[in-house]
């Protein structure tokens, strides 16, 4: 059986360090906003080559608070793409704002900057480009448009820890939101998230928002939230962060092997832009008979996934936005064709070869 994501292989490789780190937190009985959260924030900010970083309880909370701290509220509009995980739009909804969706670029599956300007209105307060599957969106071009219209950019980097755009690690624009959901490239053993920025005032607001609006003990400047990252998760993430660069290299090596072994097949493999470093949270191909291919692979004990089978505008939860089928042709066509192959650092060359050979057999 080849799993889609194998978290066991990773745990067994770092078991002693993880168990020790958890044990120390239990012994300290300091579970909330202690040394591990503080140190992990510093370490993750340095990893991103940024100044500030605030730990929260999920990637969704990170996006929600980043929007609030940028002043996004009721009746404002936020532009994002039709091809993302629903949490991007949920965060916009939590802030009281409206999602304005645009279509994706055919080669990267990310926000198409050419479609961006037309979606900007007088009410647009922010743009959330999503670095989907681990490849940065075209932030350089998106920033030019954002600057011209004086709109905030908040990068949804929940799938892109350590990805690079024109030689700079994400976030490129100054604000990025990360998720530490267990299956993400840097995953907790529970929930977690982070907002990384280069803006001190913004960072201070976020610190208050995540902890009941407190600026000092018992001084509540805002109506905030209980969105705190837990010490146990931060202690685990500190251990795992030390391995992240190596795990990213392993993912990239696996992607290269897939590319080589699938070359010449009648399926589309990922395109990595020259100016990007893709971190392959997911290895997504496109095939005409996606469903049958997935069933064929399943019959050979190979797990696959689809990210995501329904674009946001065709989900019932977002039907009120008023978009119709046919509104975002690239995202809609791709939703029927995309298939995510097994991808995790510990995947072996033998396993990749078995998956690739099974795909070739199907296409014959």
Ligand X SMILES: *Cc1c(COP(=O)(O)O)cnc(C)c1O
3-state secondary structure at position 102: strand
Cβ distance to ligand X smaller for residue 99 or 358: 99
Question: How far apart are alpha carbons 119 and 80 in whole angstroms?
Answer: 10
Nearer to ligand X, 184 or 354 (CB): 184
| Sign of the four-CA dihedral 288, 6, 255, 155 | positive
Q: Closest Cα to residue 60, out of 177, 198, 182, 234?
A: 177
- Candidates 109, 133, 181, 280: give the one binding ligand X (CB under 6 A): 181
Applying CB under 6 A, does 173 fall inside the site for ligand X? no
Is residue 230 part of the contact set for ligand X (CB under 6 A)?
no
Is residue 88 part of the contact set for ligand X (CB under 6 A)? Answer: yes
Q: Which of 55, 162, 187, 193 binds ligand X (CB under 6 A)?
A: 193
Length of the chain: 364
Convert 226-290 into a string of H (helix), E (strand) and C (coil): ECECEHHHHHHHHHHHCCHHHHHHHHHHHHHHHHHHCCCCCCECCCCCCCEECCCCCEEEECCCH
**10 vs 88, which CB is nearer to ligand X?**
88
| 76 binding ligand X? (CB under 6 A) | no
Nearer to ligand X, 195 or 359 (CB): 195
CA distances to 21, 62, 231 from 90, in Å: 33, 12, 26
3-class DSSP state for residue 356? Answer: helix
Nearer to ligand X, 23 or 182 (CB): 182
Query: Number of residues in contact with ligand X, rule: CB under 6 A?
Result: 14
As given in the structure block, the two tokens for residue 218 are 């018992």
Least distance from C-beta 260 to ligand X, angstroms?
27
Residue 113 vs 193, nearer CB to ligand X:
193
Q: Cα(20)–Cα(23) distance, rounded to whole angstroms? A: 5
Choose one: 153-161, 233-241, 311-319, 321-329; the region binding ligand X (CB under 6 A).
153-161
Angle subtended at Cα 181 by Cα 175 and Cα 182, rounded to the nearest 5 degrees: 140
Per CB under 6 A, 59 contacts ligand X: yes
Contact with ligand X (CB under 6 A) among 87, 261, 267, 293: 87
The tokens for 159 are: 């799938």
State the pairing for strand pair 219-220/214-216.
antiparallel
Tell me which stretch binds ligand X (CB under 6 A): 22-30, 53-61, 112-120, 241-249: 53-61
What H or E segment, with its residue span, contains residue 78?
Answer: strand 77-81
162 is an interface residue for ligand X by CB under 6 A: no
- Using CB under 6 A, which of 135, 179, 304, 356 touches ligand X? 179
Taking CB atoms, the residue at the shortest distance from ligand X is 59
The radius of gyration of the chain from alpha carbons, rounded to an integer in Å, stands at 20
- Report, in Å, the least distance between residue 56 CB and ligand X: 9
Which residue lies nearer to ligand X by CB, 7 or 265?
A: 7
Our CB check for ligand X shows the closer of 130 and 359 to be 130
DSSP label of 87: H
Pair of tokens at residue 94: 């939590």
Q: Per rule CB under 6 A, is residue 55 in the interface with ligand X?
A: no
Q: Which of 58, 99, 269, 356 binds ligand X (CB under 6 A)?
A: 58
Place of tokens 């044990």: 23
Prior bond to 339 cis, omega within 30? no
Q: State yes or no: residue 108 binds ligand X (CB under 6 A).
A: no
Task: Point out which span in 30-38, 52-60, 145-153, 346-354 binds ligand X (CB under 6 A).
Answer: 52-60
* Closer CB to ligand X, 179 or 351, in the complex: 179
Query: Out of 77, 103, 105, 156, which residue is the one contacting ligand X (CB under 6 A)?
Result: 156
* 158 touches ligand X by CB under 6 A: yes
Q: Give residues in contact with ligand X (CB under 6 A).
A: 58-60, 84-85, 87-88, 130, 156, 158-159, 179, 181, 193
């Amino acid at each position: 059986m080849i799993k889609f994501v194998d978290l066991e292989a990773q745990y067994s490789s770092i078991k002693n360090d993880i168990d020790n780190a958890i044990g120390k937190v239990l012994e300290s009985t300091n579970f909330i906003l202690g040394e591990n959260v503080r140190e992990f924030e510093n370490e993750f900010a340095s990893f991103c080559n940024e100044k500030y970083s605030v730990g929260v309880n999920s990637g969704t909370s990170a996006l929600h608070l980043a929007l609030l701290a940028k002043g996004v509220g009721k009746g404002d509009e936020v532009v994002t793409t039709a091809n993302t995980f629903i949490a991007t739009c949920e965060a916009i909804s939590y802030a009281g704002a409206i999602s304005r969706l645009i279509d994706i670029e055919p080669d990267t599956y990310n926000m198409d900057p050419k479609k961006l300007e037309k979606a900007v209105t007088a009410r647009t307060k922010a743009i959330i480009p999503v670095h989907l599957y681990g490849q940065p969106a075209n932030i350089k071009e998106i920033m030019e448009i954002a600057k011209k219209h004086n709109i905030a950019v908040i990068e949804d980097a929940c799938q892109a820890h350590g990805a690079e755009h024109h030689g700079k690690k994400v976030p490129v624009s100054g604000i990025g939101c990360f998720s530490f959901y267990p299956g993400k490239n840097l995953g907790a053993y529970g929930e977690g998230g982070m907002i990384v920025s280069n803006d001190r005032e913004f960072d201070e607001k976020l610190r208050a928002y995540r902890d009941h609006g407190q600026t000092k003990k018992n001084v509540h400047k805002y109506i905030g939230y209980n969105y705190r990252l837990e010490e146990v998760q931060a202690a685990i993430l500190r251990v795992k962060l030390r391995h992240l660069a190596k795990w990213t290299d392993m993912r990239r090596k696996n992607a290269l092997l897939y590319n080589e072994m699938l070359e010449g097949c009648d399926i589309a493999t990922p395109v990595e832009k020259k100016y990007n470093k893709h971190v392959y949270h997911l290895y997504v191909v496109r095939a005409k008979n996606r469903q049958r291919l997935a069933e064929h692979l399943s019959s050979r004990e190979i797990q696959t996934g689809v990210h995501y089978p329904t674009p946001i505008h065709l989900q019932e939860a977002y039907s009120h936005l008023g978009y119709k089928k046919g509104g975002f042709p690239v995202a809609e066509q791709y939703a029927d064709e995309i298939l995510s192959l097994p991808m995790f650092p510990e995947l072996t060359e033998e396993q990749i070869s078995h998956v690739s050979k099974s795909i070739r057999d199907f296409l014959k």
